[in-house]
Amino acid sequence: MRKLSSVLHVIDTINDRLGKIFSFIIVVMIGVMLWDIFVTYVFRAPTKWAVELTGLIFGTHFILGGAFVLLHRGHISMDVVYSRLSVRTRAILDVITFSLFLSFCCVLVWHGWELFSYSLKYLEHSVFAEIPFYPFKVMIPIGGSLLLLQGLAKFIRDLTIVIRGEQII
């Protein structure tokens, strides 16, 4: 059980640290937006790339932050009912719904990899701004894999609550 606890701790630590690092991507996005506003109003020369790059950065932030949010239980849930249940009943519900989560993550990783592979193979880029897409599309399977790892850690914890009545870690 100690080895399992240490593996779960490693998964939590990785997703916590990466989530904190990835949170600073928003600062880059704000910088791009401010630059575009500055050159538009000061030099009357709006950029072609800022809006597209902002969307790509936000998508990266969104996909890479999923595991961090799951770790800290920040996703939206039906707390009106869920919070009134016992810890064991919540764990049972989470174990039952894990198959949906697993399906979502597998589709995200699988199709994300296909999107990235296609993008890299054809060196896909935006039409107007000439921004390459493949560095951003690789984040889909990476983020999906991190989310899957964190979900597996949560599933194991929930399963131990269901079976033993207590949580490990």
d(CA 59, CA 126): 15
Whether residue 118 lies inside any domain: the answer is yes
Whether residue 68 lies inside any domain: the answer is yes
Whether residue 33 lies inside any domain: the answer is yes
Whether residue 169 lies inside any domain: the answer is no
Whether residue 31 lies inside any domain: the answer is yes
The 10s digit of each residue's pLDDT in 45-88 is 999 999 999 999 999 999 999 999 999 999 877 678 888 999 99
* pLDDT band at 30; cut points 50, 70, 90: very high
Contact 36, 48 (CB under 8 A): no
d(CA 45, CA 61): 28
Number of domains in the chain: 1
Whether residue 67 lies inside any domain: the answer is yes
The 10s digit of each residue's pLDDT in 153-166 is 999 999 999 999 88
Whether residue 22 lies inside any domain: the answer is yes
Whether residue 155 lies inside any domain: the answer is yes
Give the count of beta carbons closer than 10 Å to the beta carbon of residue 150.
24
Q: Which of 53-67, 73-87, 101-115, 133-147 has the lowest mean pLDDT?
A: 73-87
Quote the pTM value.
0.92
CA distances (Å), 36 to each of 28, 43, 44, 51, 83, in order? Answer: 12, 10, 10, 8, 44
- Write out the residue range of the structural domain in which residue 79 sits: 2-164
